Amino acid sequence: MKPIRLEAELLDARAVARQMVRLRLRVGPCAIRARPGQFVMLGPLAEGMDPFLNRPFSIHRLEGPEAWELLVAEVGRGTRMLARLEPSARLPVLGPLGSGFEPPAEGELLLVGGGAGVAPLFFLAEDQLARGRRVRLFYGASSADRLVGCEALAARGARVEICTDDGSAGFGGFVTARLEQALGDGSDWLAACGPEPMLRAVTGLARRFGLAAQVSLENRMACGTGACMGCSLLLAGGPRRVCVDGPVFDAREVF
Amino acid sequence: MKPIRLEAELLDARAVARQMVRLRLRVGPCAIRARPGQFVMLGPLAEGMDPFLNRPFSIHRLEGPEAWELLVAEVGRGTRMLARLEPSARLPVLGPLGSGFEPPAEGELLLVGGGAGVAPLFFLAEDQLARGRRVRLFYGASSADRLVGCEALAARGARVEICTDDGSAGFGGFVTARLEQALGDGSDWLAACGPEPMLRAVTGLARRFGLAAQVSLENRMACGTGACMGCSLLLAGGPRRVCVDGPVFDAREVF
Amino acid sequence: MVDLELDMRARIGRLELAKPVMTASGTFGFGEEYRSLVDLGALGAIVTKGISLRPRAGNPAPRIAETPCGMLNAVGLENPGLEAFLRDKLPGLREMGPAVVVNILGDTLEDYAALARALDGAGGVDALEVNISCPNVERGGLAFGTDPALAAEVAAAVRESTRLPVLVKLTPDVTDIAAVARAVAATGVDGLVCINTLRGMAIDPLSGRPRLGKVIGGLSGPAIRPVALRAVFEVAREVDTAVVGVGGIGCWQDAVEFLRAGAVAVQVGCATFRDPSAAVMVLRGLEDFLKGLGVRSCSQLVGAVEL
Amino acid sequence: MVDLELDMRARIGRLELAKPVMTASGTFGFGEEYRSLVDLGALGAIVTKGISLRPRAGNPAPRIAETPCGMLNAVGLENPGLEAFLRDKLPGLREMGPAVVVNILGDTLEDYAALARALDGAGGVDALEVNISCPNVERGGLAFGTDPALAAEVAAAVRESTRLPVLVKLTPDVTDIAAVARAVAATGVDGLVCINTLRGMAIDPLSGRPRLGKVIGGLSGPAIRPVALRAVFEVAREVDTAVVGVGGIGCWQDAVEFLRAGAVAVQVGCATFRDPSAAVMVLRGLEDFLKGLGVRSCSQLVGAVEL
Ligand SMILES: Cc1cc2nc3c(=O)[nH]c(=O)nc-3n(C[C@H](O)[C@H](O)[C@H](O)COP(=O)(O)OP(=O)(O)OC[C@H]3O[C@@H](n4cnc5c(N)ncnc54)[C@H](O)[C@@H]3O)c2cc1C
Ligand SMILES: Cc1cc2nc3c(=O)[nH]c(=O)nc-3n(C[C@H](O)[C@H](O)[C@H](O)COP(=O)(O)OP(=O)(O)OC[C@H]3O[C@@H](n4cnc5c(N)ncnc54)[C@H](O)[C@@H]3O)c2cc1C
Ligand SMILES: Cc1cc2nc3c(=O)[nH]c(=O)nc-3n(C[C@H](O)[C@H](O)[C@H](O)COP(=O)(O)O)c2cc1C
Ligand SMILES: Cc1cc2nc3c(=O)[nH]c(=O)nc-3n(C[C@H](O)[C@H](O)[C@H](O)COP(=O)(O)O)c2cc1C
Ligand code: FES
Ligand code: FES
């Protein structure tokens, strides 16, 4: 669907892990027309002109027919402001924006998420599970207290492989190390979202094991609609705007 | 006392008239050391840098031993933000600032207030009433729904003469017209605060009837402490800073 | 009282706009990006992203940094180049309704002239906006805009290469913007657009890395509004050429400030990033304000400052 | 780990400050205004309001206007004049602890020289800051600061009239600040202070009246920080003279940006109006940051930008 702009109502803002908050936004019937991998621009965040820019966040989950959930890691001023919002606050939202993931029609889907980068993978996983697909999520976090939603996703039928840098839950080590052990079992498609070094490593693995891979990228954004050329990356095929040509790209285009 | 800066707690923000709100701020034991006519700088008003400057407000009343009341007319962005604050909000306050009124030791005191300019006159009136002095307040407002606190002040013993531009309460017409009728009855001191044309007219009357007069002025302020020279007025005797040389001036210095 | 129709037309030399509000170059792509979000037809003009003779890839990321009440950009004129513009973008733009103003940028005088010639023949272009004020490219751009004589040379070269109305966009990063304006105005161009971004910079205090890949970029947004307004005021009193105001305009009150300072029309730039409908809201608010004032035409507000 | 003392000294030519944070001229009066509010002794220096030979009344009201993330001022150098300064203000300043830097402004070269001579003999003055960048006065001020040759003449005149360390404060409102900086640095002054305010303007949209009595004034505050940082960066790479950064600094992170861009010290200006203790908080935060980094001296951060 074409992006629209609306005043969403914040249904709730709940701390779901250390410095991670889940925002539930009522956006109306358009909610269900978003595709996994798409994102929104949130803001203006304050009445004044500071902070100035709106913030991009992936759609984390559909929540009922009229609401989107966002998963927000508190990393700076804007995200801290969002985390402190009171329910019933109004938040201008522009979306859904960008391209979605394009999983193949068959086979198990491998999803690899790091930190808040897991956000769009939940939407993708739940959507695919609902279509009866097998989904395996490799989920890396710095420590156990930063993990969100694993049980719920497992309950929906996904196989969730938890990895923590400090070993406080699941596999102790980077998610890519765990992924490497698991590859070669026949899956041939992979989607990843997270910090750039992780995406780079995942792409390397995909290449080695002959999997098609899609990665969701981040970049500083001003407009979110393709108008400002602010988020372009100089990829092999020329400049590509993360906000409209992505955020989901074929991994081979990027790394 | 020397000004101090503190985080005041907003005890309540109550709409007391059309687009007039009364803020009750707990500032601690220093509250009672302010003098009528002094003011505070409130702010920063938001977490971001916009709006940038703090706002000056007269101390409207002492409220118990630890709180100040401010009377705020909603005229722009900052005052609208203040009017919407929730109790228990923290508000940085710098004060008390500036000079106070200096009523003579004897005789009836005539106070003349227009609009939100009545704010500091309540503090002055209550202080003088508590010392057993006779106080008469000429209080001008655009209409009845903009009047605040008249009954309470009358109950404390002041004679309150209400004037409204539209005649919806009290004397119909400018406060200066009512004042003119009442002058010449023996009072010899007058204090006024309100719009400049009113102050000018009151000063003219005071001169004509031979009263000493003090007027409280407003000007754009940045620092409130005398440091920036931003609020200086080019008076007959040279530049005078409203924030430290005033806001209360001898009327003859000004007009 | 007879409710006379309010005349919102703005005359910028030979360019007449139905409405005095445009989008600013580089902040509205080629219009298509906002088609589903904005009542495009309401606008006076869409000014395109800067177009160069050949495609440009632009600068390395990051290109955007948020600053107090504004932003820095170092996009570096990423654009598809003249040929692809004419083929892929112009047809769509023509259909949108507003006048089409094409912003052009060259590395050399001859580039500017070549762009002007090509666009002259293209059809569906209503005016050119000559960018001699872009801080984000190595050659051309700002280098032309900071020297009155060079600025005038570019203006004249474009002027002579096209029959289209020509607007020249000035940089505020000069000692004397009025001097540049006078020199450019003397070439007989149709309008002066004030202002492009201010050169600025930001560093991540923790990592020590500049927040822009290109280190220095262009500052825009409400932060620069007082500078833009001053530039418009200074230029409008110096020249008879029409002045278009841009810089930090986000609501109708801002537009009124610029008209009063002497601008005949305004552009809305990065305010669109906060709210895609910013330009339309500026226009609607302005119309309401003018109706409230009881004037017959928007042009009556131009220069109406009480000194 | 041995907890070595952190060395916060800043060397600005012959002027050595115990701490790299000062108050900016015109935003801290003569120190006395903040005596009850600020731990004055913690600061590196207090820079006075600009002093002229004779008292000045300044500009008509209003002199202050709020702008997005900043403010305009058109104070116009209201000050008590040299004689009253020496008599009424300097004795108090001397006792406060920080170095005393006197900001001076003249209408003519000879004014500057006379001020420098008089302050040389006054005792208790640690350095002069030469204001050739004030947008708010008719003569002198900005006129000197926008021309490299004139700027150098003023700098040389002051330099030759005093044994005190001399800092020269530059305006960002020039095409090439590095050129002005080079010319001034060549006179052998001790430091360059970047930047004074940007020329700006605001109009009340409803009444049509300019928001400043003087119409055009100086823009300061966070809004201008990216411009100030760029100026510091450009100047610091061009000259060996020490650079002092000022413009929109309100917290320690801002100060870190300026040090990394090449400033050896910073000044806190109108942030003090929002919070009188801003300068002290900048200093404390900077100290904590440097301790966390594990460096021995603040000077190690100067120029530490990862290009
Ligand atoms: C397509 C996309 C989807 C994203 N999805 C999510 C998500 O689902 N959950 C989540 O927690 N975060 C997500 N991010 C990152 C998120 O946008 C940033 O964490 C957020 O903007 C930081 O704002 P701040 O004010 O807290 O940080 P500050 O550092 O104060 O922000 C300053 C500026 O930098 C920008 N910025 C800072 N970090 C990033 C970043 N990593 N990517 C892009 N811009 C950044 C801000 O938007 C703002 O303009 C996504 C980013 C993109 C581009
Ligand atoms: C000494 C003094 C005492 C005051 N006491 C009171 C009081 O008790 N009650 C009350 O309602 N108002 C009082 N005022 C006026 C009050 O400060 C302004 O109404 C208020 O600052 C407007 O802020 P705003 O953001 O709503 O308006 P905006 O117009 O959005 O403010 C923009 C800027 O202009 C300044 N400004 C606007 N109007 C005034 C004004 N009249 N005087 C000074 N600065 C102004 C603001 O402080 C701000 O810096 C007093 C002013 C002074 C100088
Ligand atoms: C992301 C971005 C890209 C821009 N690209 C161009 C451009 O290609 N050509 C041009 O003349 N100006 C360009 N500008 C400058 C704007 O057109 C405008 O002059 C400036 O941003 C000030 O207006 P504003 O504060 O309303 O944004 C760009 C501005 C931004 C923010
Ligand atoms: C109200 C005010 C008065 C000022 N007066 C002077 C002055 O007398 N001399 C001077 O060199 N700079 C003066 N300045 C400029 C400041 O010293 C400083 O360079 C400028 O405000 C930018 O810093 P800031 O953004 O931190 O305020 C003044 C600034 C303000 C806001
Ligand atoms: S954010 Fe503007 S083009 Fe992508
Ligand atoms: S407000 Fe700064 S001197 Fe009065």
Please answer yes or no on whether D226 and C210 come within 8 Å at the CB atom.
no
Cβ–ligand 1 contact at A136 (below 6 Å): no
Give the max Cα distance, chain C: 65
The pLDDT of residue C3: 56
Query: Nearest CA of chain D to the CA of B241: how many Å?
Result: 11
The pairing of beta strand D242-246 with beta strand D191-194: parallel
The pLDDT of residue B118: 98
Which residues is C45 bridged to in the sheet? C22, C99
Residue C1, classified by CB atoms within 10 Å of its CB into exposed (0-12), middle (13-18) or buried (19+), is exposed
Mutation pick from A47, A50, A53, A77 vs chain D, by most beta carbons of D within 10 Å, is A50
Residue bearing tokens 């605001």: D202
**Confidence category of residue A116, pLDDT binned at 50, 70, 90:** very high
pLDDT in tens, B193-210: 999 999 999 999 999 999
The pLDDT of residue B92: 98
Sheet containing strand B39-42, strands side by side: B55-58, B39-42, B90-97, B4-17, B20-26, B67-73, B61-63
**Confidence category of residue D1, pLDDT binned at 50, 70, 90:** very low
The pLDDT of residue D187: 98
Closest C-alpha residue for ligand 4 atom 2: D26
The pLDDT of residue D141: 67
Ligand nearest to the CA of residue A53, numbered in listed order: 1
Domain edges within chain D: 10-58+76-198+222-301
Please answer yes or no on whether D306 and C208 come within 8 Å at the CB atom.
yes
Annotated catalytic, D134?
yes
Mutation pick from C67, C69, C254 vs chain B, by most beta carbons of B within 10 Å, is C69
- What is the SS3 assignment for A205? helix
Nearest to C255 by CA among C10, C1, C57: C10
ipTM score of complex: 0.97
Pocket residue to mutate for ligand 5, from A41, A221, A245, most atoms within 8 A of Cβ? A221
Q: How far apart are CA C105 and CA C107, in angstroms?
A: 7
Q: Which of C69, C134, C194, C298 is catalytic?
A: C134
Query: At C248, phi and psi to the nearest 5?
Result: 80, 15
Asked if B47 reaches chain C (Cβ–Cβ under 8 Å), the answer is: no
Phi-psi group of B43: left, alpha or beta (phi > 0 → left; psi -120 to 50 → alpha; rest → beta)? left
**Separation of CA B73 and ligand 2 centre (Å):** 9
Q: How far apart are CA A41 and CA C64, in angstroms?
A: 15
Which of D203, D216, D229 lies closest to C260 in CB terms?
D203
CA dihedral angle for residue D295, residue D300, residue D303, residue D307, rounded to 10 degrees: -50
pLDDT in tens, D250-291: 999 999 999 999 999 999 999 999 999 999 999 999 999 999
Residue ranges of the alpha helices (H) in chain B?
Answer: 77-83, 119-130, 150-155, 175-182, 196-209, 251-254
Nearest to A239 by CA among C60, B91, C257: C60
| Closest chain B residue to the Cα of C67, Cα to Cα | B49
Which stretch of DSSP H or E encloses residue D77? Answer: none
Q: How far apart are CA A200 and CA A206, in angstroms?
A: 10
The pLDDT of residue D3: 56
Binding-site residues on chain A for chain B (CB distance < 8 A)? 46-51, 77, 81
Asked if A56 reaches chain C (Cβ–Cβ under 8 Å), the answer is: no
Look at residue C245 and tell me whether its pLDDT is greater than 70.
yes
Cβ–ligand 2 contact at B56 (below 6 Å): yes
The pairing of beta strand D198-201 with beta strand D216-220: antiparallel
Token code pair at residue C147: 């020297």
The pLDDT of residue C125: 98
Mutation pick from D66, D69, D225 vs chain A, by most beta carbons of A within 10 Å, is D69
Cβ–ligand 1 contact at A255 (below 6 Å): no
Q: How far apart are CA B234 and CA B246, in angstroms?
A: 13
Asked if D44 reaches chain C (Cβ–Cβ under 8 Å), the answer is: no
Top CATH class, C10-58+76-198+222-301: alpha beta
Chain B residues close to C222, C-beta within 8 Å: 50
Count Cβ atoms below 10 Å from residue D291 Cβ, excluding itself. Answer: 12
pLDDT, averaged across chain C? 95
The pLDDT of residue D138: 63
Please answer yes or no on whether B47 and A47 come within 8 Å at the CB atom.
no
| Chains with ≥3 CB–CB distances under 8 Å to B | A, C, D
Q: What is the DSSP letter of D297?
A: B
Cβ–ligand 3 contact at C27 (below 6 Å): yes
**Separation of CA C191 and ligand 5 centre (Å):** 29
Which stretch of DSSP H or E encloses residue B169? Answer: none
Q: Where are the beta strands (DSSP E) in chain A?
A: 4-17, 20-26, 39-42, 55-58, 61-63, 67-73, 90-97, 109-114, 135-141, 159-164, 171-172, 189-193, 212-216, 232-235, 238-241, 248-250
Inter-residue contact B187 to B107 (CB < 8 Å): yes
- Over range A146-164, report the average pLDDT: 95
Nearest to B37 by CA among B104, B96, B94: B96
On the CB side of C35, CA atoms within 13 Å amount to: 11
Question: Residues near A142 by Cβ (< 8 Å), separated by ≥ 6?
Answer: A115, A164, A165, A166
- Over range A134-160, report the average pLDDT: 96
pLDDT in tens, B7-44: 999 999 999 999 999 999 999 999 999 999 999 999 99
Asked if B94 reaches chain D (Cβ–Cβ under 8 Å), the answer is: yes
The pLDDT of residue C143: 79
pLDDT in tens, D73-127: 999 999 999 999 999 999 999 999 999 999 999 999 999 999 999 999 899 999 9
Cβ–ligand 2 contact at B247 (below 6 Å): yes
Look at residue C1 and tell me whether its pLDDT is greater than 50.
no
Look at residue B241 and tell me whether its pLDDT is greater than 50.
yes
Please answer yes or no on whether C64 and A228 come within 8 Å at the CB atom.
yes
The pLDDT of residue C140: 62
Asked if B86 reaches chain C (Cβ–Cβ under 8 Å), the answer is: no
**Confidence category of residue D140, pLDDT binned at 50, 70, 90:** low
Nearest to B95 by CA among D37, C302, C143, C164: D37
**Confidence category of residue A184, pLDDT binned at 50, 70, 90:** confident
- Over range B48-72, report the average pLDDT: 97
Give the DSSP letter string of A119-170.
Answer: HHHHHHHHHHHHTT--EEEEEEESSGGG--SHHHHHHTT-EEEEEETTSSSS
CA dihedral angle for residue A60, residue A64, residue A68, residue A72, rounded to 10 degrees: -50
Look at residue D177 and tell me whether its pLDDT is greater than 80.
yes
Q: How far apart are CA C237 and CA B124, in angstroms?
A: 50
| Closest chain D residue to the Cα of C215, Cα to Cα | D307
Ligand nearest to the CA of residue C270, numbered in listed order: 3
**Confidence category of residue D139, pLDDT binned at 50, 70, 90:** low
From residue C142, alpha-carbon distances to C170, C199, C218, C234, D218 in Å are 9, 10, 11, 20, 24
Cβ–ligand 1 contact at A84 (below 6 Å): no
Sheet containing strand C198-201, strands side by side: C64-67, C70-73, C216-220, C198-201
Query: Looking at per-residue confidence, does C110 or C134 come out higher?
Result: C110
